C-alpha cells in the first residue's frame, strides 16, 4: 500500500485486527520512508456499483463519501460511529444486491433517509435538507411541517397502543422536489 503522505511504496503492516462482527479487517500501517502511520480497512465488495449523479455523470460508488454525508447528519446525535458504519454497510449491500447497473444518487439518498427517519429525527432532518436542497425557506418550513404532523400522529398512536416506539420515529419520506445540488458533491 502506497503511503498517503509521501507516496512511497515502502510501507509495512504493524497490526491487523478484525471488527467484532467480522465485517472488516483494520490494518495499522507504517511508512519506512517518512515515518507516518495510517490505517486501511479491508471489506467485502460483492460487485462494483456505479452511481449516476444529478448532472448525469456516472462514477463508481464510494463508500467513504456516503459515510461522510451520513456522519455529518449524525454529528453530536446519540448514534455511535459503529452504528453509522453499519448503516452505510447495509446500504452498500443493498446497492450491490440490487442487480442494477447504475443507481442514481437520489435513490441512495432515499435509502439513507428511510433508515435515518426511523432512527433519529434530527439526523433525518439534516440529511433531508441536504438531499432536497431547499432553495426557499418556505420549502424547508413545509418539509418540517410534514414531519411535525407525522410525529404527532405517531405520538397519538404510541399513546393509544403503548407500542414502545419513541417519538424519534417517523417512517414516511415526504415527496418534495429535489434541488439541483448533488448529494455526492459533498466536498467542502
Residues of this chain that interact with Zn ion (CB under 5 A) are: 3, 5-6, 8, 31, 33-34, 36
Closer residue to Zn ion, CB minimum distance, 38 or 140: 38
Closer residue to Zn ion, CB minimum distance, 29 or 65: 29
Cell of 8: 512511497
Query: Residue 101's closest CA among 145, 51, 148, 165?
Result: 51
Smallest separation (angstroms) from Zn ion to the CB of 1: 11
Smallest separation (angstroms) from Zn ion to the CB of 13: 14
Closer residue to Zn ion, CB minimum distance, 5 or 41: 5
Closer residue to Zn ion, CB minimum distance, 1 or 46: 1
Smallest separation (angstroms) from Zn ion to the CB of 37: 10
Query: Can you tell me whether residue 37 is helix, strand or coil?
Result: strand
How far are the Cα atoms of 4, 14, 39, 101 from residue 170, in angstroms, in the given order? 42, 45, 37, 31
Smallest separation (angstroms) from Zn ion to the CB of 28: 14
Smallest separation (angstroms) from Zn ion to the CB of 36: 5
Closer residue to Zn ion, CB minimum distance, 14 or 149: 14
Q: Please state the separation of Cα 50 from the chain's center in Å.
A: 16
Closer residue to Zn ion, CB minimum distance, 5 or 167: 5
Smallest separation (angstroms) from Zn ion to the CB of 9: 9
Cell of 80: 455511535
Amino acid at each position: 500500500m502506497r503511503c498517503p503522505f509521501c507516496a512511497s511504496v515502502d510501507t509495512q503492516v504493524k497490526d491487523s485486527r478484525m471488527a467484532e462482527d467480522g465485517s472488516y479487517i483494520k490494518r495499522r500501517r507504517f511508512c519506512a520512508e517518512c515515518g507516518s502511520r495510517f490505517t486501511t480497512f479491508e471489506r467485502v465488495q460483492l460487485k462494483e456499483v456505479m452511481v449516476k449523479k444529478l448532472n448525469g455523470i456516472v462514477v463508481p460508488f464510494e463508500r467513504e463519501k456516503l459515510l461522510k454525508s451520513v456522519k455529518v447528519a449524525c454529528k453530536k446525535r446519540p448514534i455511535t460511529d459503529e452504528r453509522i458504519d453499519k448503516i452505510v454497510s447495509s446500504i452498500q449491500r443493498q446497492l450491490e444486491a440490487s442487480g442494477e447497473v447504475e443507481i442514481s444518487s437520489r435513490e441512495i439518498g432515499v435509502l439513507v433517509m428511510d433508515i435515518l427517519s426511523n432512527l433519529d429525527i434530527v439526523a433525518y432532518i439534516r440529511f433531508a435538507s441536504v438531499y432536497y436542497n431547499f432553495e426557499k425557506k418556505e420549502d424547508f418550513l413545509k418539509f418540517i411541517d410534514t414531519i411535525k404532523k407525522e410525529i404527532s400522529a405517531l405520538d397519538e398512536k404510541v399513546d393509544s397502543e403503548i407500542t414502545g416506539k419513541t417519538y424519534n420515529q417517523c417512517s414516511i419520506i415526504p415527496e418534495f422536489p429535489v434541488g439541483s445540488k448533488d448529494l455526492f458533491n459533498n466536498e467542502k
